[in-house]
Amino acid sequence: MLVRDLSETDLLASFVPLLPAGRATRLGPGDDAAVLGVAGDLVVTTDVLVEDRHFRTAWSTGEDVGWRAAMQNLADVAAMGAEPTGLVVALAMPGDTPAAWVTDLARGLAAACAPHGVGVIGGDLSGGPAICVAVTAFGELDGRPPVLRSGARVGDVVAVAGTLGRSAAGLALLTAHEHDGVVPPPGTDLLTRTYRRPDPPLTAGVEAAHAGATAMLDVSDGLLRDAGRIATASGVALDLDVGALAPDVELLAEAAESLGVDPLAWVLTGGEDHALLATFPPGALPASFRPVGRVGSGKGVTLDGEPWVGSFGWDHFGY
Amino acid sequence: MLVRDLSETDLLASFVPLLPAGRATRLGPGDDAAVLGVAGDLVVTTDVLVEDRHFRTAWSTGEDVGWRAAMQNLADVAAMGAEPTGLVVALAMPGDTPAAWVTDLARGLAAACAPHGVGVIGGDLSGGPAICVAVTAFGELDGRPPVLRSGARVGDVVAVAGTLGRSAAGLALLTAHEHDGVVPPPGTDLLTRTYRRPDPPLTAGVEAAHAGATAMLDVSDGLLRDAGRIATASGVALDLDVGALAPDVELLAEAAESLGVDPLAWVLTGGEDHALLATFPPGALPASFRPVGRVGSGKGVTLDGEPWVGSFGWDHFGY
């Protein structure tokens, strides 16, 4: 059964019942718009996943893609110090997409959202030349100011909640296996799973806000690049402690050896684990964060005081 | 200059300054998420426009597409009886898209939003195989309940604010001109303009809510199909008065004659002018609405008491 064999009504009838109603949903799918209960200022973010660019149907199921589309947006909400409450999804896809892929996508959205009380409150389904999943997510600040990228101060501690480099390593393993037949070492399932279904520490965002985080973002383009964004926005320098990243590097060592690459590069430039990177006044670190560096005067990002001379990863429009 | 010649940073630097800050914008583009001021329950809607399916770059400029992407979402917000306050946009596009097309899109979003105090508060830009514009829009209910599709009652008046069939006529003229060389009659610019830049009566949505509208939606798939949605959701029958539609038909007569078609079909089945269709208790019609029928018992939609035997227009996944 393909999407083009179904009317829009039929497709919606198989999709909508799979979606969770969150705790803030006042009106779910079915009318011109949904209604979300909001207590004060609302955090809003949008991100799009495009087939063959951000995912491949050969490597990720519809459920994986739904999970990832939800999580990368919920991580952006968490990175403002907000609690995610809901999301909407706009999905364009070719008529020869299996209808089961679309309901799997709904299941993946639900699996990512429901445990956090996040509702999938509305959406739009359309034809298109490739699968394109645009999610817009919402979160509550509960009266707190948002944690921006611009508030880091000299003397602050740089800290991370969540994992680094696993998604990049997982993607590299999948790519090497397909192109060069490299067999992934045993025990690397964790890495490909993180690529398919990143599991960012969503509740750590609110914890960071309560603890007085001065700046925060989620690591979507790599630790160095995203640390550089905090440095630029705050007008400070961030120095990372390579020793503090040793556990992250160690976890990737076997996979890196199998591909003949440096695992530190994955930790420093791999995004899409959607870890939270934040700065805190000394002594203020909440339990979910571990220190990885400090804020100094100047600009840019250094590693043990030295600049990084490797690549910074990819750009969204490069080929 | 093409999109692929620019970094994401460069592209954002040319795009973001063109976007209007609306009256409810607390934090605009540049961080992980935006912040929207919200006084109570929030109306949320999302819609996607896909190249060569919903628009063609040969017929619509980037500015036209930006305008239309904004307006079709703002109309959904208005159709809930809400006042639009902001939107976010997720844009995927090929690397060979002219960079000027993208900034034109930002100008079109701004032209549609700024006069209504609506902010373009955030977005995401990505590569992709075709241009895909997903807009999510927000609106305030100011403590009123949303106007759903399900509240129409026997004895209510069916009424319309805005135009009917012009966008469909405009698209038919553009198609006939390209395929068969048919020269559009003089004076039909209004129709192609409505196709490119629909101008729904946004403020009529709140007026309808204040006047006690019992049901409302925006006509995006054609008057008959959308009236049928109110009938089904409300458990009633809607009878439309063909005589009341005569001015709409008359305006399309010359264009219809040039193509040898029935202008009534455009009025009844053409969507995308995004008129508002609502039901009101007798005597409650606000000035922006004109009566076009009445609500009775039973089900479905009739025209002067008779069923429509023509086509109902297109389905989103058919080819």
**Tens of pLDDT along A76-125?**
999 999 999 999 999 999 999 999 999 999 999 999 999 999 999 999 99
Q: Are B194 and B279 contained in the same domain? A: yes
Record: contact A44-B121, CB cut-off 8 A: yes
Q: What digits encode the pLDDT tens for the residues A162-182?
A: 999 999 999 999 999 998 888
User: Which residues lie closer than 8 Å to A95 by C-beta, 6 or more apart?
Assistant: A2, A3, A4, A127, B317, B319
Q: Is residue B193 assigned to a domain?
A: yes
Residues B256-278: tens digit of each pLDDT:
999 999 999 999 999 899 999 99
Query: Do A208 and A285 belong together in one domain?
Result: yes
What does the block give as tokens for B80?
Answer: 């809930």
Is B215:B151 a contact under the CB 8 Å cutoff? yes
Q: What is the pLDDT of residue A104?
A: 95
Strands (E), chain B: 25-27, 34-36, 42-50, 83-93, 119-127, 132-140, 157-161, 215-218, 237-240, 276-280, 290-296, 300-303
| Single-letter residue type at B164 | L
Which residues of chain B have a CB within 8 Å of the CB of A46? Answer: 88-90, 122-124, 134, 136
- Residue at A281 is within a domain: yes
A186 interfacial to chain B (CB closer than 8 Å):
no
Statement to judge: residues B195 and B60 lie in one domain: no
Q: Which residues of A are annotated as a binding site for Mg(2+)?
A: 32, 45-47, 76, 124, 218, 221
The answer to whether B35 and B26 are in contact (CB under 8 A) is: yes
Tens digit of each residue's pLDDT (9 = 90 or more) over B134-167 = 999 999 999 999 999 999 999 999 999 999 999 9
Other Cβ atoms less than 10 A from the Cβ of A8: the count is: 17
Determine whether the interchain pair B141/A35 forms a contact, defined as Cβ–Cβ distance below 8 Å: yes
The answer on pLDDT for A312 being more than 70 is no
Q: Of A140, A165, A180, which marks where a domain is finished?
A: A140
Task: Looking at the structure, tell me whether residues B82 and B173 fall in a common domain.
Answer: no
**Domain end residue (candidates: B99, B114, B140):** B140
The answer to whether residue A12 scores a pLDDT higher than 90 is no
For residues B90 and B193, give the distance between their C-alpha atoms in angstroms, rounded to a whole number. 25
User: Is the domain of A202 the same as that of A298?
Assistant: yes
Residue A146 in any domain: the answer is no
Partner-chain contact A34 B45, CB within 8 Å: yes
Task: Mark which of A109, A140, A171 sits at the end of a domain.
Answer: A140
Distance CA A56, CA A258 (A): 23
Closest chain B C-alpha to A137 CA, distance in angstroms: 9
Question: What CA dihedral angle connects A186, A255, A71 and A75, to 10 degrees?
Answer: 140
Q: What is the pLDDT of residues B205-242, one digit of tens each?
A: 999 999 999 999 999 999 999 999 999 999 999 999 99
Domain check: are B231 and B132 in the same one?
Answer: no
Q: Are strands A290-296 and A237-240 parallel, antiparallel or unpaired?
A: antiparallel
pLDDT per residue over A128-139, tens digit each?
Answer: 999 999 999 999
Q: What mean pLDDT comes out for the span A13-35?
A: 89
Shared-domain flag, residues B169 and B294: yes
Confidence of residue B308 (pLDDT cuts 50, 70, 90): confident
B75-93 in b/e form (b: 16+ CB < 10 A) is bbbbbbbbbbbbbbbbbbb
The reply to whether B287 falls in a domain is: yes
Inside any domain, residue A315 = no
Q: Is A311 inside a domain boundary? A: no
CATH number, position A85: 3.30.1330.10
Report the C-alpha gap between B55 and A90 in whole angstroms.
Answer: 17
Q: Residue B61: which domain range?
A: 8-20+38-140
B118 in the same domain as B171: no
Percentage helix, strand, coil, to 5, in chain A?
35, 25, 40
Phi, psi of B294 (to 5 degrees): -145, 160
Instruction: Please report which confidence band the pLDDT of residue B309 belongs to, taking 50, 70 and 90 as the band edges.
Output: confident
Task: Retrieve residue A121's tokens.
Answer: 């409150």
Residue type for A38, please?
Answer: V
Return the number of other C-beta atoms located less than 10 Å from residue A254's C-beta. 16
Specify the CATH number for the domain of residue A220.
3.90.650.10
pLDDT reading at A314 higher than 80 = no
Tokens of A28: 């779910």
Residue B166 lies in a domain: yes
Q: What is the mean pLDDT of residues B11-31?
A: 89
With a cut of 60, say whether residue B110 has pLDDT above it. yes
3-class secondary structure, A161 = strand
* Residues B46-79: tens digit of each pLDDT: 999 999 999 999 999 999 999 999 999 999 999 9
Cα B34 to Cα A139, B86, B121: the distances in Å are 10, 10, 6
pLDDT band at residue B318 under the 50/70/90 scheme: very low
- Quick check: B41 and A43 CB within 8 A? no
B42 and B174 together in one domain: no
> Is there a single domain that holds both residue B187 and residue B270?
yes
Give the whole-angstrom CA distance, residue A182 versus residue A169: 13
Q: B125 to chain A: which residues are within 8 Å by CB?
A: 316
Asked whether the CA dihedral B265, B269, B272, B273 is positive or negative, the reply is positive
Which positions 37-76 of B are in contact with A (Cβ < 8 Å)?
37-38, 40-48, 50-54, 76
User: Do residues B162 and B200 touch, judged by C-beta distance below 8 A?
Assistant: yes
Give the pairing of strands B290-296 and B237-240.
antiparallel
Q: What number of residues does chain A have? A: 319
> In this structure, are B130 and B46 located in the same domain?
yes
Q: Give the per-residue pLDDT at A129.
A: 94
- Measure the CA–CA gap between A22 and B4, rounded to whole angstroms: 39
Helices B62-78 and B189-196 cross at an angle (nearest 10°) of 70
CB B38 within 8 A of CB B132: no
Say how many domains are in chain B. Answer: 2
> Is B185's Cβ below 8 Å from some Cβ in A?
no
Residue A316 lies in a domain: no
Say whether both A126 and A181 belong to one domain. no
Taking only residues 106 to 165 of chain A, the set having a beta carbon closer than 8 angstroms to any beta carbon of chain B reads 121-130, 132, 134, 136-139, 141, 146, 148-149
**Rounded to an integer, what distance in angstroms lies between the CA atom of residue A66 and that of residue A135?**
10
